[in-house]
Structure 1
């Protein structure tokens, strides 16, 4: 990764996904428009951070989509602190959460 000099994105934006299932769904829906997409598959790897650093250095705005669980929100917060205004948290609103939360309550017997 030390040899990476520049990185860019189509139309100066890059969509970064934590979740491979979400990434795959977006990829299949966007085949005609061919947007710039990256999947980091869970926790950040050094290569992912170096790539995102290079993108931001070259003026690319990152749209990040991660899981809306505790770990996913912590990861999103770390990225927001790192990239500040160059990173947009995508689909992290209250309505987004309400759309995915299950209304089914599980009973756990011990």
Structure 2
């Protein structure tokens, strides 16, 4: 259950394209904060662009969330597992392949 120290995430949107007030407050006052995510628990939420770039470019940080160790879901894997799965499907997502499908009358 979320506490005052650790807000529940994701934040409710009051309007479709508005930044949730909790997120705006964290970005201004606590740009790297712990939040409580259902079924996962406490995680770090990084809210500022420069901080996000630092985290994403630092190999000490992984992408596999807690409780998903050994998952085959390539979205949540670090190299070398992600690299291996990406090489298997990369041709299907290439611009050349998409163009060939359009030429064949596919959307």
Normalised-by-shorter TM-score class? under 0.3
TM (norm. structure 1) is: 0.25
The TM-score normalised by the length of structure 2 is 0.25
Q: Which has the higher helix share?
A: 1
Report which of the two structures shows the higher radius of gyration computed on alpha carbons: 2
RCO higher in 1 or 2 (8 Å CA, sep ≥ 6)?
Answer: 1
